[in-house]
Amino acid sequence: MVPPGIIIVMSELSLTEIDHLATLARIRLTDEEKERLGRELGKIVDFYATIQAASSNGQVIPEQAGRVKPIGDLRPDELHSGPSGLTQDELKKLAPEVRDNLVVVPAVFE
Amino acid sequence: MTFDDYLARIKQLDQRIGSFLSVEESAPTSPVTGGALSDLTIAVKDNILVKDRPATAGSKILEDFIAPYDATVIGKLKAAGAKIIGKTNLDEFGMGGSTENSAWQITRNPWDLARVPGGSSGGSAAAVAAEFCDASLGSDTGGSIRQPAAFCGLTGLKPSYGAVSRFGLIALASSLDVIGPIAKDAMTVERIFQVIAGYDKFDQTTVDYQHQAVEFSPQRIKIGLPKELWRLKIDPSITAAVRELVDFFVKRGAEVKEVNLPNFEYGLATYYVILPAEAMANLARYDGIRFPASQRSSGKLLETYLDTRAMFGPEVKRRILLGTYVLSTGHYDQYYQTAVKVKNMIGDDFRRAFGQVDVLITPTTPTRPFKIGQISDPLDMYQSDLMTVAVNLARLPALTLPCGLEDNLPIGGQLIAGEGGDYLLLAMAKYYQSQTNHHLQRPDIIVKNNG
């Protein structure tokens, strides 16, 4: 329960923040999407606050991020054919544009 | 039913349900005969590659993509004689709990066409419930096999992390993703799991899991009930049905005790930090260069990225931005690193619990299937994963089975075991289903149309 007199202010991500994230993620957004995502992401980020509580409730927290025990083993570093004898030609067929045996990429520099 | 019987039924009924995105035109010409699964017709979630067939993952950005090879699980199914009948609908890239987030169509719950089948493997679950196939494959990153199986009155297994190869699964969050079977009964689920489990040199995270069916004896089992769970907001009819499921085993001699999972409730927030972080990295490959869908009219690289990635749906954009947010400077420690720590705490809680008991029983979902369009707030939709996400974070196996009906809507109970305890869950579910008939219930639409 919220004590009387306390107002909970829901966070909202600013348009500047949304623009920055969209640029990093290479996602183009319409103005309507930016406005909506600012609100939605703000609410979700507020929800994340609950894990801050969990991580500081007096328990000893293991520091290292991974702590994943290694399973399986690394295969020898050698060439081998993929599954079902997948060929280069079959993979190249997936690219939108191929020329002279190369995948075509639009110009990086203008 | 034969493959052709199933094709006829799909033709007759699937326009009302929408479970398939693509269906085979006819039975395979030379299936393996006499194999372990030669009697089974199986549907496959459209994020798992079947050679020479479309694999859209429910996204426009994979339109026109034809899989150039079989996923490891598909190769194993075919070698065992199983016949693949089609590819099933899902929330785009597995992001959702209702199958309303597919770029192509929504899927309806065969038990009530106004309601969702759950998600993200909603097409796979609806196809089995509508009797369009004997079983299906789904994938589970935070509950995407168990929640739709529960909503559609089915048995579904989320195997231990690493028990089943993900080679040929379109990745969502690689530290959590796992492929598993959905069917009416645990016997069929087990037969499929036995075939698809095991080490694969193309998936570095797999272990040499050899499944062995075991006899189950309730007198030798200790069941744990996580104390914290019953405090959460759960539909009372679900709580009652799951209590009856527990009582079934207790009456036959099982021991039951309360256990503590103090960090269980933080699983949801933890999951929704880790998942977007991994998903945004996995989805970076859809850039208009490597896959057929490409918007390159500008002739410029950056514009090609932006124009192509505009094809992602709203939930995918939302999670890509969230992932970018939690991994960005200033937020990485605050959110991502904290989430990883809490994930480890949740794993430790489960390990302590499995020091005292063999299996945990919980509801699979906090609610029964909700209405199409009922939940529009993303955070409310995430609540649907409340009971399931912690299991993925802890890499554990879990199985959902039908344990009741309320207002003619199915209720699922979740059994959770320690890592590698998949065999125990299957043995327990088979034992339960040999003495009860919840798994034999059929939706009216099927009874009326097919007798």
Q: How far is B406 from chain A (nearest CA, A)?
A: 32
> What pLDDT is stored for residue A9 in this prediction?
52
pLDDT in tens, B79-103: 999 999 999 999 999 999 999 999 9
Q: Which residues of B touch A51 (CB under 8 A)?
A: 266, 269-270, 273, 335, 338-339, 342
Mean pLDDT, residues A68-84 taken together: 63
Distance CA B121, CA B141 (A): 10
Q: How far is B334 from chain A (nearest CA, A)?
A: 8
> Which amino acid is present at B349?
D
Q: Which residues of B touch A72 (CB under 8 A)?
A: 162, 199, 203-207
The contacts of residue B304 (CB under 8 Å, 6+ apart) are: A106, B287, B288, B289, B294, B295, B296, B298
| Contact: A51, B345; criterion CB under 8 Å | no
| Contact: B272, A40; criterion CB under 8 Å | no
Spell out the alpha helix ranges (H) of B211-266: 236-251
Mean pLDDT, residues B20-25 taken together: 98
Distance CA A110, CA B13 (A): 54
Q: Which residues of A touch B265 (CB under 8 A)?
A: 50
Pairs of residues, one from chain A and one from chain B, whose beta carbons lie less than 8 Å apart: 161
Q: How far is A2 from chain B (nearest CA, A)?
A: 19
To the query of whether residue B298 is one of the catalytic residues in this protein, the response is: no
Q: Which residues of B touch A68 (CB under 8 A)?
A: 175
Q: Answer whether the bond into residue B38 is a cis peptide, omega within 30°.
A: no
Least confident of A51-55, B36-40, B110-114, B375-379: A51-55
ipTM of the complex: 0.89
pLDDT in tens, B306-331: 999 999 999 999 999 999 999 998 89
To the query of whether residue B430 is one of the catalytic residues in this protein, the response is: no
Nearest CA in chain B to A90: B68
Give contacts of B 12-41 with A, CB under 8 A.
none
Which of the residues B144, B160, B165, B384 is marked catalytic?
A: B144
Going B70 to B73 to B75 to B80, the CA torsion angle's sign is negative
Distance CA A41, CA A22 (A): 13
pLDDT in tens, B206-239: 998 888 889 999 999 999 999 988 788 999 999 9
Among B206, B295, B321, B348, the strongest candidate for a mutation testing the A interface, having the largest count of A CBs within 10 A, is B321
Kindly indicate the confidence band of residue A67, based on its pLDDT and cuts at 50, 70 and 90: very low
Q: Which residues of B touch A13 (CB under 8 A)?
A: 325
> What pLDDT is stored for residue A74 in this prediction?
67
Q: Which residues of A touch B292 (CB under 8 A)?
A: 94-96
In this predicted structure, the answer to whether residue B75 has a pLDDT above a threshold of 50 is: yes
In this predicted structure, the answer to whether residue B444 has a pLDDT above a threshold of 70 is: yes
| Contact: A26, B309; criterion CB under 8 Å | yes
Mean pLDDT, residues B246-252 taken together: 98
| Contact: B325, A41; criterion CB under 8 Å | yes
Q: What percent of chain B has pLDDT over 70?
A: 100
Distance CA B105, CA B99 (A): 8
| Contact: A28, B306; criterion CB under 8 Å | yes
| Contact: A51, B304; criterion CB under 8 Å | no
Mean pLDDT, residues B389-409 taken together: 97
- Token pair, residue B372, equals 């199409």
Going B58 to B59 to B64 to B65, the CA torsion angle's sign is negative
Q: Output b/e per residue, B173-202; b: 16+ Cβ within 10 A.
A: bebbbbbbbbbbbbbbbbbbbbbbbbbbee
> What pLDDT is stored for residue A64 in this prediction?
47
To the query of whether residue B120 is one of the catalytic residues in this protein, the response is: yes
Kindly indicate the confidence band of residue A78, based on its pLDDT and cuts at 50, 70 and 90: confident
